[in-house]
Amino acid sequence: MEQNTAPYREHNRTSLTKEKLKQGFLDNLYFIQGKFPTLASRNDYYLALAYTIRDRMLHRWISTATNYYESGARTVCYLSAEFLMGPHLGNNLVNMGIFGMVKEVVEELGLNFEELLAQEEEPGLGNGGLGRLAACFIDSLATLEIPALGYGIRYEFGIFEQTIVDGWQMEKTDKWLRNGNPWEVPRPEWAQEVRLGGHTEQYTDENGRLRVRWVPAKIVLGIPYDTPILGYRTNTANTLRLWKSEAPESFDFEVFNRGDYYGAVDQKVTSENISKVLYPNDEQLSGKQLRLEQQYFFVSCSLRDMLRVLAIQNIPLSRFHEKFAVQLNDTHPAIAVAELMRLLLDEYLVDWDDAWEITQRTFAYTNHTLLPEALEQWPLPLFASVLPRHLEIIFEINSRFLDEVRIKFLGDEARLARLSLINEGGERYVRMAHLACVGSHAINGVAELHSELLKQDVLKDFYELWPEKFRNKTNGVTPRRWMILSNPSLASLVSDRIGNGWVRDLEQLRQLEPMADDADFRKEWWDVKRANKVAFAQYIFKRTGILVDPESMFDFQVKRIHEYKRQHLNVLHIISLYRRLKENPNLEVPPRTFLFGGKAAPGYHTAKRMIKLITSVGEVINRDPDIRDRIKVVFVPNFNVTTGQKIYPAADLSEQISTAGKEASGTGNMKFSMNGALTIGTLDGANVEIREEVGAENFFLFGLTADEVYALRASGYHPYDYYNTNPHLKDVIDLLRGGSFSRGDADLFRGLTDGLLHHDPYLLFADFQSYVDCQEEVSRAYLDRDHWTRMSILNAVRSGKFSSDRSIRQYCEDIWKAEPVPITLLGQNEEPT
């Protein structure tokens, strides 16, 4: 062991100075970019800086890997089809504690530091909350010094870039890799082979036992690309390992020799397709073979990688589940249950019972949705054609599982059908959530309400079968990215008063509670918010050409565009306010800027029309000379991590207005609150807990509760009745139907309004009046600046619960049983810089 690490021990880390950084930067510009300053582009400078920082991370990364290797520590493997990391450079500087120093170095070199930070293309390898949660979690895992690996897919094209043309969303391909990615290191020596398609055969092994062999139709290679993930001011640098698919050979020489050049490269092309593109949410995926291949591809590579690690650490296979705690982030990696069984049964010749015990003790499953249509299932014929052996294994798991159910619930055939891993109603499907539940020892929701509703509704039968498997783990977000990096002025205001222990222990913010009553502090707080709003107003002007007034209330709704999130309810309120202001110009309401941001899945037509609705209403209001200084409506294009970092610090009000019982948790709600925005929201997802923490008096609550929503639906919901009996609502809908916001085109929003009048599946009409009344309360509250600031302070300082450090601690204690392993730097024991 000594011998292995000896070469690295020479690279003792010496303390970092500005001179060394400068030298490193110029060396990298010269030796890696091959440029000298007169010829260097901004991207050359960015890359030179990124490499300089990465160089400084390597000592921790290598030390961490060595420590883990030597200690054989229990390791958390977070399997996620999405990691929405956001730019790395700024975050790495924050976590290393050298942000200020590097800024000075860059400026002393005559360069613009902000421009270099902005030069980094965001790795948008996720759709929204789920992928961003995975990114916050790996930050917290490293900060808490937990041995952990994030496993996912290195999509060549991440989430599309959104532009708005004539008020409609347009999608442009994301090309995040075009200028190079300085943060990753390919590890071709750890490539894995993945099989796909084909058929299975039975054979008898040398002991006379009947076994199964999978004869695949094709094999692809998975190449791991590793990115170091630094903890905040610790020595730990964990790894994010993303798999890229490649053909085992670039050319099929047999075909090539027959003169079929194009046929020969074909295999390369189809193999590389697997990791080509991230699939958007909210689209019908069940027929998409490539998506299933993606899921299997990264899961198989990751499990084989774990087996590789087990082998080099000389840990027996029977202790797989002691070495690894594997978390399934939603059902996307659920095929891991069948894959680990297959590896153990077919490749390592383990008996079924032993294999099943290892499997169940290895996996835990996080559910992220209450929408039944979002639970993945794969048509049986498709599944059989991609993963024939896994289907056999799933059938066997199912038959043993249903036997267990039969014994427990004798004669309850309906229950068996509901629980089965195979949906037999009509076309047959494999239910991935059921596979995840059966193959895991723990199942969790992501907020208290969500976890309760899983037990009562979506996973009720599983709860009745195994109540002990169910838990709650309320989501959290990392204060490193979402406070220090994005809101440095607020962070330093806080640190000036209470030191910076809060960054690792967010509950310490509560020490600031008494400051809410201090007029000077309130002024400083308000000034920070105002400066952030000025900066955001400038950004908006640059991006959209719309001038917004930083004195107005900044009211944000940023998240994926979806009917259940009800961006259109927000619009109904805006129209009603517009109407009232037109009728009564003396109405005393503070000026307000309504800001929206979020992407619609390219195939989700209603969501795309909701964007058009927002922009169309904005167009009318922003042009109206009577009104445009009082309210404005802005759609911020291309909402992503980078724009989010500008948005949360600039927000006064956070719109969290989903139909109760639909939003699993939300995490944007936490980021807003942490940055001092007040929430207007329903009792949904983590809003419930935010309100508990910040106090009911500092939260604007409206709408039906989840129970009331169920009851209303059960008793028969008639949206038309609300339209008929509420003249304000009728007025708003009639304006839309009459074409007032579509240049007279009465058809443009007909689908939306008819949908609401006749179905309204997300109960906008039922919540409309309560929402409008609550918005009036918000307006009144904003007029009292002192009171508002007090509430803003209390929102931020009581948000400690929503640090992802708290979430990860709970996962570690309750599900993963993982302990911190503090890292000793190789060669010397020194404090991190």
Q: Catalytic site residue 559?
A: yes
Could you tell me which stretch among 35-43, 197-205, 211-219, 662-670 binds ligand GFP (CB under 6 A)?
A: 662-670
Contact 156, 246 (CB under 8 A): no
Number of residues that bind ligand GFP (CB under 6 A): 16
Q: Distance between CA atoms of 119 and 41, rounded to whole angstroms?
A: 11
The distance of closest approach from Cβ of residue 58 to ligand GFP in the complex, given in angstroms and rounded to an integer, is 32
Can 667 be counted among the known catalytic residues?
yes
| Dist. CA 611–CA 613, nearest whole Å | 5
Give the interface segment with ligand GFP, choosing from 15-23, 126-134, 204-212, 412-420 (CB under 6 A): 126-134
> To 10 degrees, the CA torsion angle through 633, 639, 641, 643?
-40
Give the residue with the Cβ less far from ligand GFP, 335 or 664: 664
Q: Does 557 bind ligand GFP (CB under 6 A)?
A: no
Residue 293 as a binder of ligand GFP (CB under 6 A): the answer is no
Does the protein bind ligand GFP through residue 129 (CB under 6 A)?
Answer: yes
Residue (181 or 803) nearer to ligand GFP, CB = 803
Structure-token match 């939003």, residue found:
663
Distance CA 208, CA 211 (A): 9
H or E, element range at 574 = helix 567-583
Question: How near is the Cβ of 169 to ligand GFP at its closest, in Å?
Answer: 17
Q: Residue 334 CB, nearest distance to ligand GFP (Å)?
A: 16
CB of 286 to ligand GFP, least distance (A): 18
Would you list the DSSP string of 107-147?
A: HHTT--HHHHHHHSPP-EESSSHHHHHHHHHHHHHHHTT--
Could you tell me which stretch among 349-357, 485-493, 659-667, 719-727 binds ligand GFP (CB under 6 A)? 659-667
> In the set 162, 275, 475, 532, which binds ligand GFP (CB under 6 A)?
475
The single residue among 77, 81, 111, 133 that binds ligand GFP, judged by CB under 6 A, is 133
When asked if residue 560 is in the footprint of ligand GFP (CB under 6 A), the reply is yes
CB 788 within 8 A of CB 646: no
Least distance CB 647 / ligand GFP (angstroms): 16
Q: Which two tokens stand for residue 815?
A: 């599900």
**Is 800 near ligand GFP (CB under 6 A)?**
no
Of 440, 431, 350, 355, nearest in space to 394 by CA: 431
DSSP annotation string for 709-732: HHHHHHH---HHHHHHH-HHHHHH
Among 327, 567, 667, 675, binds ligand GFP (CB under 6 A): 667
Q: What angle do CA 571, 577, 583 make, to 5 degrees?
A: 140
Smallest distance from ligand GFP to CB 444, Å: 10
Based on the shown chain and the rule CB under 6 A, indicate whether residue 481 belongs to the binding site for ligand GFP: no
Residue showing the smallest CB distance to ligand GFP in the complex? 129
Determine if 654 is a binding residue for ligand GFP (CB under 6 A).
no
Q: Tokens 């204690």 sit at which residue?
A: 813
Are 747 and 737 in contact, with CB atoms under 8 Å apart?
no
- Footprint on residues 584-603 left by ligand GFP (CB under 6 A): none
Comparing CB distances to ligand GFP, the nearer of 452 and 624 is 452
Q: Which of 74, 291, 671, 801 is catalytic?
A: 671
In angstroms, give the least distance from the CB of 388 to ligand GFP: 31
* Closer residue to ligand GFP in complex, CB, 335/446: 446
Give the closest residue to 725 by CA, choosing from 765, 760, 754. Answer: 765
CA triplet 125, 560, 693: central angle to 5 degrees?
100
**Of residues 227, 643, 667, 753, which has the active-site annotation?**
667
By beta-carbon proximity to ligand GFP, the closer residue of 128 and 637 is 128
Q: Nearest distance from residue 128's CB to ligand GFP, in Å?
A: 3
Question: Which region, judged by CB under 6 A, interacts with ligand GFP, from 68-76, 124-132, 187-195, 596-604?
Answer: 124-132
Interface of this chain with ligand GFP, residues 681 to 740, rule: CB under 6 A: 685
Give the 3-state secondary structure of residue 8.
helix
Residue 175 annotated in active site: no
Catalytic residue among 323, 450, 559, 612: 559
Stretch that binds ligand GFP, among 129-137, 538-546, 579-587, 616-624 (CB under 6 A): 129-137
Query: Whole-angstrom Cα distance, residue 124 to residue 122?
Result: 6
Q: What share of the chain is helix, strand, coil (3-state, %, to 5)?
A: 55, 15, 30
Q: Does 665 bind ligand GFP (CB under 6 A)?
A: yes
Which residues lie across from 79 on neighbouring strands?
Answer: 151, 328
Task: Give the shortest CB-240-to-ligand GFP separation in angstroms.
Answer: 18
Q: Which is nearer to ligand GFP, 350 or 370 (CB)?
A: 370
Among the listed residues 127, 227, 643, 807, the single contact to ligand GFP using CB under 6 A: 127
CB-wise, 28 or 369, nearer to ligand GFP?
369
Q: Contacts with ligand GFP in 434-463 (CB under 6 A)?
A: 446
Q: Is 562 considered catalytic here?
A: no
Coil, helix or strand for 242?
A: strand
Among 130, 223, 660, 812, binds ligand GFP (CB under 6 A): 130
Which member of 368, 390, 480, 481 binds ligand GFP (CB under 6 A)? Answer: 368
Which H, E and C letters describe 30-71, residue by residue?
A: HHCCCCCHHHCCHHHHHHHHHHHHHHHHHHHHHHHHHHHHHH
DSSP assignments along 142-204, one per residue: HHTT--EEEEEE--SB-SPEEEEETTEEEEE---TTTT--TT-EE-GGG-EEEEES-EEEEEE
Residue 333 within binding range of ligand GFP, rule CB under 6 A: no
Q: How far is the CB of 332 from ligand GFP (least distance, A)?
A: 11
The amino acid at residue 193 is E
Only one residue has tokens 């991935």, namely 432
DSSP per position, 349-371: ---HHHHHHHHHHHEEEE-----
Shortest Å distance, C-beta 10 to ligand GFP = 44
Of 434, 565, 609, 790, catalytic: 565
Which listed residue (369, 486, 576, 742) binds ligand GFP by CB under 6 A? 369
Angstrom distances, CA of residue 155 to CA of 26, 242, 733: 31, 8, 42
Nearer Cβ to ligand GFP (265/371) = 371
Read off the tokens for 817. 């049983």
Nearer to ligand GFP by Cβ, of 294 and 369: the residue is 369
Beta carbon of residue 544, minimum distance to ligand GFP (angstroms, whole number): 24
| Alpha carbons 743 and 674: distance in angstroms, whole number | 41
Q: Which is nearer to ligand GFP, 304 or 559 (CB)?
A: 559
Which CB sits closer to ligand GFP, 606 or 622? Answer: 606
Q: Is 565 among the catalytic positions?
A: yes
Taking the CB of residue 284, how many other CB atoms lie within 10 A of it? 9
Pick the piece of the chain touching ligand GFP (CB under 6 A) from 224-232, 270-278, 636-644, 658-666: 658-666
Q: How far apart are CA 550 and CA 529, in angstroms?
A: 10
Q: How far is the CB of 470 from ligand GFP (least distance, A)?
A: 16
Q: Give the C-alpha distances (Å, rounded to integers) separating 29 from 44, 228, 251.
A: 7, 22, 36
Q: Return the CA Rg of the chain.
A: 28
> From the CB of residue 403, how many other CB atoms can be counted at a distance below 10 Å?
11
* Contact by Cβ (8 Å): 659, 635: no
> What value, to the nearest 5°, has the Cα angle with vertex 236 and ends 46 and 190?
75
In the bound state with ligand GFP, the residue whose beta carbon lies nearer, of 444 and 486, is 444
- CB of 41 or CB of 456, closer to ligand GFP: 456
How are beta strands 124-125 and 75-79 bridged, if at all? unpaired
Task: Show which residues are catalytic.
Answer: 368, 559-560, 565, 667, 671
Residues that bind ligand GFP (CB under 6 A): 127-130, 133, 368-369, 446, 475, 560, 663-667, 685
